[in-house]
Amino acid sequence: MSKKVTVLKKLVKGNKSNLSLNFYPPVFNRKTGKKTRYEKTSYFIYNEFQSDTVYYTDANGKKQSKIEILTDKNGNPKKLTLTPAQKHHNKEINEMIELYRAKRFKEVINPDIYSETELRALELAENRSKIFTEYFKEKAQNATSSEGVWSGCYGHFVKCYGNVLFQDINKALIEDFKSKLLNAYQLRSTTHKISRNSAASYFIRFIQALEMAYEENYISQSFKAHIEWIEEEEVMKNFLTLEECKKLFTTDFSDEVLKKYCIFALLTGLRYSDINNLQWCDVVEREGINYIYFRMKKTSAFQYHPISEEAVKLMGDRRFRTDFVFDRIAYHSLNDNLRKWLSKAEIEKRVTFHNFRTSYAVAQLEAGADIYLISKMLGHKNVSTTEIYAKIVDKRKAGTIDNIVLGI
């Protein structure tokens, strides 16, 4: 059976045609593990005729659309005059797609003609001409944790550079982006700069995206060992004391779901995402002690977390395994109502729901709990993350030195 590899053109918006390869017979795709007759490429050419989107209704009554060539009254395609730059682009792309078609044809008729190293080098050469910004956008949209940080980092990158090719990624660009982050304003503000810690978080995500690109053979080197990270500033976290928490919890408020979330967060130190997603199958009893066994949403680490009788009572009667323990609530709604509740309780501190996690850590440390145990309970990977809470406790202790004055 003779084998063929041909170039296909597909009309797309903007009077362009995307180029792809057609295989006969179908070939095995290493990425999908299936046989296919088509392979998309990043190449496109400018058409010498006009085209536009045409809308129609299919046999099932559904509205569909397709790109069609526009014709004059005689049925001939309406011609376009290409600029010199567009003609030069078409010439280069036609040469490149022909080289790529020939390479793929050689692979089809003799799969062993290239070694794995050579195939990887050929793939890298093709990937370098693709758009990193689009790749970055996809990684940000598909992030399973710290979604807001990923989105913010991508937003700042686009604002600074627009579309950047993989071949343009180098240490100079990385250092320039770091410098821009350290001096950047919030995406929706011209007066408020982002904090140093936000810049540090954004920069970490940017380097993570580059590491993914390196592992997936879009860039030729890893940069993480060759760059200087943005050092975070130590920030004293806001929190409510136990007395303030008791005052808040005994203040009447209409949102009972919010009240349960806040009390449970103080009793357990859990994040909003972990409380919001807690199911009854995550709650187990062992030797008379109740535990929550779950995967933390932020870190993806498994946590085996003992909880108090007061926390168990707050959860109410056990239901089906897949039922959520608490009614679900949106985070922004939770914080909006928390501000109203704090105001009604005449507590002037500016805190968010997440600060109950700080209150939990401070209360545990003030009660004499071991910092390493608290670190495990909070799911911190390093005890250094927990030490900020110990500094809060030390500061509170220092504030008691003048409580007893003898005056003698």
Q: What is the pLDDT along the chain (408 residues), one digit of tens a residue?
A: 467 889 999 999 989 999 999 988 787 776 676 778 888 899 999 999 999 988 888 888 888 888 999 988 888 999 999 999 999 999 999 999 999 898 888 877 765 555 667 667 778 888 888 999 999 999 999 987 778 899 999 999 999 999 999 999 999 999 999 999 999 999 988 888 998 989 999 999 999 999 999 999 999 999 988 899 998 876 667 888 888 999 999 999 989 999 999 999 999 888 888 888 888 888 888 888 888 886 766 666 677 788 888 888 888 888 888 889 889 888 888 888 999 999 999 998 888 888 888 888 888 888 887 888 777 777 777 777 677 777 777 666 666 556 555 566
The pLDDT assigned to 236 comes to: 62
CATH architecture of 242-398: Orthogonal Bundle (1.10)
The pLDDT assigned to 235 comes to: 62
- Angle 138-142-147 from CA coordinates, rounded to 5°: 110
**CA-wise closest residue to 268 among 314, 295, 308:** 308
The pLDDT assigned to 234 comes to: 64
The pLDDT assigned to 170 comes to: 93
Report the alpha-carbon distance of residue 137 to residue 141 in Å, rounded: 6
DSSP summary character for residue 400: T
The pLDDT assigned to 166 comes to: 94
214-219 contacts: CB < 8 A, separation 24 or more?
Answer: 217/120, 217/123, 217/124, 217/127, 218/124, 218/127, 218/128, 218/130, 218/132, 218/135, 218/166, 219/128, 219/166, 219/169
Taking a C-beta distance cutoff of 8 angstroms, is the pair 132, 210 a contact?
no
The pLDDT assigned to 60 comes to: 84
Neighbours of 325 (CB within 10 A): 21
The pLDDT assigned to 233 comes to: 72
The pLDDT assigned to 300 comes to: 63
The residues, any chain, with a CB within 8 Å of residue 355's CB and separated by 6 or more, are 237, 238, 239, 240
The pLDDT assigned to 129 comes to: 87
- CB-based burial, 154-189: b 16+ in 10 Å, e otherwise: bbbbbeeeeebebeebeeeebeebbeebeebeeeee
